[in-house]
Amino acid sequence: MLAVERRNRILESLKVNQAITVSELCILLEASEATIRRDLTLLETEGKLERTHGGALVNETRLNTEDLISQKETLLREEKAYIAHKAFETLVDGDSIILDGGTTTYELAKLIGKSNLKLTVISNSTIVFKELNMNPNLDLIIVGGKVRTNTLAAVGPIAQESFKRFNVEKVFLGANGVSIDAGLTTTDLDEAMIKSSMIQCAKTRILLADHSKFNKVYLNTFASLSMIDMIITDSQTDQVILKAIIDSYDLEVKR
């Protein structure tokens, strides 16, 4: 396993568990204690975790910050690809859809770009646009505005006003956190406003969220789970959490 892959796996584990020991990481990653300790030291110097005696904790100061999209793309790739395939199965010829600027929706865009489906696709994401703009079967609408460095997606009042003009069949979007009490949350206020606008103009609202997003709460709530029609997640998502969501809200879960 490459060092960068090993360190990404460490961060993935921390996102899910909040804390982990060196011995647990040694077993998980099949690496020596010395190797794991070096990784933890490096990740601590980068501000990505907090070292403890015998392990590491999530860096609390990063709970309301967001990695660059290029960094997030490397995390949980298999899970995101799986979720994207499940999302693709919900599409039919003639659909009008919105894709937000998340990494899982980007995986969905890759599948759409290679397909023969005739769709109208609206997005505020520059990377989604680059993935889809050569497919002649698609009517592609790119929404403009101020582009966030972290996500390479347009936000702000121009983008918000643009989304108010649309009426689409489906919206596919992600969240930094999913909680029964706090709903869907994200780190950035502008991003939250855009996601709220997207949800309001779609008949069917579909959340794409891997297991690391559940039971997490960030600064800005952009929707209650009552506003979501379907959650698509991966097989590692806690069944107890999903049952609680299903029992509390009238929505469908695919995994």
- Supply the pLDDT for residue 71: 47
pLDDT digits (tens, 9 = 90+) for 30-75: 999 999 999 999 888 877 788 888 888 876 555 455 454 444 444 6
Phi, psi of 179 (to 5 degrees): -140, 140
Structure tokens, 253: 């879960």
Domain count, the chain: 2
Do 22 and 137 belong together in one domain?
no
Average pLDDT, the chain: 89
Query: 0.85 exceeded by the pTM?
Result: no
Q: Which of 65-79, 115-129, 153-167, 201-215 has the lowest mean pLDDT?
A: 65-79
CATH number of the domain within which 20 lies: 1.10.10.10
Do 107 and 196 belong together in one domain?
yes
* Gyration radius of the chain's alpha carbons: 19
CA dist., res. 144 & res. 29, Å (int):
43
Do 90 and 208 belong together in one domain?
yes
Strand pairing category for 220-223 and 183-186: antiparallel
- How deeply is 255 buried, as exposed, middle or buried, from its count of CB atoms within 10 A (0-12, 13-18, 19+)? middle
Do 106 and 229 belong together in one domain?
yes
Do 33 and 79 belong together in one domain?
no
User: At residue 16, does pLDDT exceed 90?
Assistant: no
Strand pairing category for 230-232 and 138-142: unpaired
Do 31 and 111 belong together in one domain?
no
CATH number of the domain within which 108 lies: 3.40.50.1360
Do 149 and 84 belong together in one domain?
yes
Range of the domain at 57: 3-62
- How deeply is 211 buried, as exposed, middle or buried, from its count of CB atoms within 10 A (0-12, 13-18, 19+)? buried
Do 143 and 235 belong together in one domain?
yes
